[in-house]
Structure 1
């Protein structure tokens, strides 16, 4: 049987075996998982979008801006 792949924890860089036994994968621990969650919650991490994307998504819900 082959070895499961090993990835780096996105928070601290520690090696993490990618298997069912790795409860917090891709993170090495609950602490690193919560640090990452906090970064998303405080908007340190963002998914890039064009400035007009939100206007296009909700354009039918609101009156047009002038």
Structure 2
């Protein structure tokens, strides 16, 4: 990973990152990020699946 790919600020609070906790500024922000993952605060939007379990476009109402 090149230096240009690394964030120049902590993604939680915006302070400069600390090397032992990169990309975070410290253990506190690192722990807050982990708790957000464990508490399911970060989510990826998903499409609903049909009754057969396959992705299909929604049917128009009759």
TM range (shorter): 0.5 to 0.7
Partner of 2:43: 46
Q: 1: distance between equivalents of 2:47 and 2:9? A: 30
1:28 shift after superposition: 0.6
TM-score where L is the length of structure 1: 0.56
Q: 2: distance between equivalents of 1:29 and 1:48? A: 30
**Which stretches of structure 1, 4 residues or longer, exceed 3 Å deviation after superposition?**
none
Q: Write 1 or 2 for the structure with the bigger share of strand.
A: 1
Q: Which has the higher contact order (CA 8 A, sep 6+)?
A: 1
Partner of 2:23: 26
Q: 2: distance between equivalents of 1:24 and 1:51? A: 37
In structure 2, stretches of 5+ residues that fail to align are 55-62
1:25 shift after superposition: 0.5
In structure 1, stretches of 5+ residues that fail to align are 57-66
Let me know the Cα RMSD of the aligned residues: 2.1
